[in-house]
Amino acid sequence: MDLYFLGTGAGMPSKQRNVTSIALSYVDERGGFWLFDCGEATQHRIMHSPLRLSKLEKLFVTHLHGDHIYGIPGLLASRSYHGGETPLAIYGPKGIKHWIEITLKLSQSRLNYPLEIVEIEEGIVLEDDHFSVETARLEHRVDSYGYRVKEKEKPGRLLIEKLRNLGIPSGPLYGKLKQGLDVDLEDGRKLAAGEFLGLSTPGRTVAILGDTRVCEASLKLAENADVLVHESTFASKLHDLAFKYHHSTAKDAAMTAKKAAVQTLIMTHISSRYQGEEEEELLNEAKSIFPNTFLARDFWSYAVPSKKAKQNK
């Protein structure tokens, strides 16, 4: 599981930072990637990255400000030309469906794949065999959401030799045990699944927040996360400006990370006023509160560390 930052700027693009888009790559789990927000020229950034547009499976939109959505129409159209034929799902606040549909209609764009658009509310918006995605409304000038992506625990491998030594041939019983289900044999023996599975691996949690002031929803989504991606538009000396425009400072992001007991903080959505050495002001400010902090840059990636396997109960 890797985070790949395609755009890390705030408001408008600069020579150093494009507007917001973050990829969550899960090649080992599913063979593709998800996007969180899609600012203008995101498809161009993907062309200069290890990602393949045809492998995009889902797009999660935090809010409807232009620097987070203006890249969507072009990306959707280009996905067809890049060989994308598998279904694509888009999740976002109310209004995203109308905006995308009218844009595609007026531009006469034709997609070669099924497109599903889901307008979200707070709660679980997606759950499958590998992940669940929970969202909550943050505090911004428009409806803005954060996403909590939780990887499900990976069960340990089935101890086949142990089963064979007990005279149990392969078959449907193996599948049940692999799923963690206890089995009653016809001869009266009971097989506890935990005794026939190797060490399981706990899932990882990544919280990716949209634009926001400090709020309780941020803490809820970030609680005990392995990685928190938090906007850090300004340094704390511009706190009043950040508050006025419903944004966060580097200090705000660090305080949220500390209170939520996350493992790693990654700051993004950086104002274009911070260039070169001025960026260090943001990083140093955050690290003084939460040492394990990184300042994202365009085309920078972060591998979310795997967790240690644990014994099944």
Residues in the annotated binding site? 63, 65, 67-68, 140, 211, 269
Q: Cα dist. 287→105, 126, 290 in Å?
A: 47, 33, 5
Backbone phi, psi, residue 283, to 5°: -65, -45
Q: Cα dist. 5→84, 120, 310 in Å?
A: 22, 24, 31
Residues 7, 20 contacting (CB under 8 angstroms): yes
Residues 194, 178 contacting (CB under 8 angstroms): no
CB atoms within 10 A of CB 102: 10
Which residue type sits at 175?
A: G
Residues 229, 147 contacting (CB under 8 angstroms): no
Number of H helices, E strands in the chain: 10, 16
Backbone phi, psi, residue 36, to 5°: -120, 110
Q: How far apart are CA 32 and CA 152, in angstroms?
A: 17
Active site positions, annotated: 67
DSSP-assigned letters across all residues of 206-231: EEEE-S--S-HHHHHHHTT-SEEEEE
The binding site for Zn(2+) consists of 63, 65, 67-68, 140, 211, 269
Output b/e per residue, 202-219; b: 16+ Cβ within 10 A: ebbbbbbbbbbbbbebbb
Query: Which of 257, 238, 259 lies closest to 249 in space, CA to CA?
Result: 238
CB atoms within 10 A of CB 196: 23
293-295 and 264-268: which strand pairing?
parallel
